[in-house]
Amino acid sequence: MLLALYSCALFLVLVVGLPYWLLRMLLSGKYREGLSQRLGRVPQRLRPRPGQARNPTIWVHAVSVGEVLAAGSLIQELGLRAPELRVLVSTTTRTGQATARERLGEERVFYFPLDFAWILRRYLTALRPALLVLVETEFWPRLLVQCGRSGIPVVVVNGRISDRSFHRYLRLRFLWKRILRNLTLVLAQSERDVTRLRAIGVPPERVSYGGNLKFDVRAVENAAVTGALRAHLPKGARVLVCGSTMEGEEEILIDAFREIAKVNRKLVMILAPRRPERFDRVAEMLRKRNQRHVRRSRWMSHPAKLKPGTVVLLDSIGELASLYSLASLAFVGGSLAPGVGGHNPLEPAQFGIPIVMGPHYENFRDIVDRLIQAEALKIAHRETLIPMLSMLLHDEELAALLGVRAMEVFDSQAGATARAASAILRLLGEKSGTENTEADRSPGRSSGSSAATREPDSQPKGAR
């Protein structure tokens, strides 16, 4: 009954929002791409070919770019340990889809379907996953229940519950408890997340500390744009990289840069808005302020020496992590104003770069708290941002010390990927052993039967 109400509510939301979605499709095409996949059309390339039919399939769902990067390391680890596995990856956002296709190959990537039973059944029947892996907290009720009914184990890696989400989950714990019992294993980012996941209804024995996969994600330092900028920076330049910035932050950062550049005559800023649809708006903002700037997309076609006081607008996806390697100082965005929750400070930390963030970092609370405790990151409010950036750009010794400590924190927390891969393979082994035992006792089934060849909608022994 509750699931039926949920499905009706989801349908009503889609119907009421239809004019908005149609307008966005017409104006930007943002939701047009992958629409048929979201509505249940399973791409033919995802269906197992005859030679693949006996290899277990793992379906990994990663919402956007950050989750895709974390999942990429896990997928690579699984491929090294169990090359026979067939791993498919779904994403929700267009940027996540582009990153996944570039890094993992288009043949295994697709858009996550809408959370309706009839759509999910089509995907589960076509893909025949032996196991579903959710990166972070993608708790879609119909998906979890459908996997439970089909006997498909569900593993959550990098599990976390933000401050804001925690209270929402708690208010509806009586509902979530029934849904979250379909989770087989949850590997949480921190001990705080372990406690919260148990509090919202995940069976306590199924939750354990796994660490943060993002500590194992290392950027490719020699990306093309990174090498080009390194060769064309002013001699002795100091570089301020402002990454993953959100609406309302760019104005503050541009004004801060202009002020600091009056004293620091060799300063260059790399400005990287979080969302691609805002690239043009930020470019217009720079133009209206008469701020000298270049757009990465145009500059890379004819690279030229950059002048001090220039802002490089990074209007591309997937290159920011690499560009942090050029930084004298990094500001990690989404943290100056409430509501966003900050972005990932590990990207500059891996290069030993001193980091500044705003006070709103609840999405990465555990990571930021670790960095703060290690005296490896500084928090600045809007009114203290200019003095903080100026001080760290001037005091190179203190900045270098912050960077060294940040790298030490990054290195000390590695290992979550290996733990997650071991847990997944152990589950697959247990599932395969159980099914083979069932097959030995069941007439008409061969002993080679596996999760990859079983119809997902069947009800194996013990399935809810």
Residues with a known catalytic role: 67
Structure-token match 């119909």, residue found? 142
**Distance of alpha carbon 148 from alpha carbon 145, whole angstroms:** 5
| Residues facing residue 87 across a β-bridge | 58
* Residue 142 and residue 103 in contact, taking contact as beta carbons nearer than 8 Å: no
Angle at 4 between CA 152 and CA 13, to 5 degrees: 105
DSSP one-letter code for 335: -
What is the enclosing helix (H) or strand (E) of 379? strand 377-379
List Cα–Cα distances, 332 to 139, 319, 335, 357, 360, in angstroms: 27, 15, 7, 5, 11
**463: left (phi > 0), else alpha (psi -120 to 50), else beta?**
beta
**Distance of alpha carbon 429 from alpha carbon 325, whole angstroms:** 41
CA proximity to 290, closest of 254, 261, 316:
254
**Distance of alpha carbon 163 from alpha carbon 169, whole angstroms:** 10
**Distance of alpha carbon 199 from alpha carbon 193, whole angstroms:** 10
* Residue 330 and residue 226 in contact, taking contact as beta carbons nearer than 8 Å: no
Phi, psi of 446 (to 5 degrees): -80, 155
**Distance of alpha carbon 150 from alpha carbon 458, whole angstroms:** 6
